[in-house]
């Protein structure tokens, strides 16, 4: 009788451990997928912010609408679609982020109003002379 109880206890313990290991591996896989989705959402928000900052028309002229992200996000690529509905109507902007060899993707859509007024001229915003950032820390050096 004791031997049957030991065998039954070992069997139940084995089943319990296998279920626990299965749940642990599933939760780790889900956590990794959640992390990838979070990174994709952040990258999509960054691309959408570029469209808002430049304005839809200037974005299409000055930025690439498809590409690969720089390291450490080189596994992610993007595509930005800007659709002009009509004059004085907001642009329909869609940002696609894909990863894992295009098997997974994240999509972000928004309406962005066109910039009003005269078109802005792109200006060169580089400083006229080089900035010595270390000099501000060493202004009063005794010679």
- Domain spans of the chain? 31-116
Looking at the DSSP bridge assignments, the partners of residue 94 are 81, 109
> Which range has the worst mean pLDDT, 42-46, 49-53, 59-63, 116-120?
116-120
Second-level CATH architecture of 31-116: 2-Layer Sandwich (3.30)
Q: Please, are residues 89 and 83 in contact by the beta-carbon 8 Å criterion?
A: no
Produce one character per residue of 65-79: b if its CB has 16 or more CB atoms within 10 Å, e if not: eeeebeeebeebbbb
Between these two residues, 97 and 139, which has the higher pLDDT value?
Answer: 97
Check: pTM over 0.95? Answer yes or no.
no
Distance of CA 98 to the CA centre of its chain: 10
């Amino acid at each position: 009788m004791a031997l049957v109880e030991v065998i039954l206890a070992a069997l139940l313990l084995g089943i319990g451990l296998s279920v626990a290991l299965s749940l642990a591996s599933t939760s780790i896989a889900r956590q990794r997928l959640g992390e990838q989705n979070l990174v994709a959402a952040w990258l999509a928000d960054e691309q959408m912010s570029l469209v808002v900052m430049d304005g839809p028309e200037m974005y299409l002229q000055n930025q690439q609408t498809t590409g690969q992200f720089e390291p450490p996000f080189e596994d992610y690529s993007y595509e930005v679609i800007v659709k002009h509905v009509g004059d004085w109507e907001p642009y329909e902007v869609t940002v696609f982020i894909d990863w894992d060899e295009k098997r997974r993707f994240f999509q972000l859509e928004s309406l962005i109003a066109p910039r009003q007024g005269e078109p802005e001229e792109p200006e060169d915003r580089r400083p006229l002379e080089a900035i010595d950032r270390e000099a501000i820390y060493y202004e009063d050096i005794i010679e």
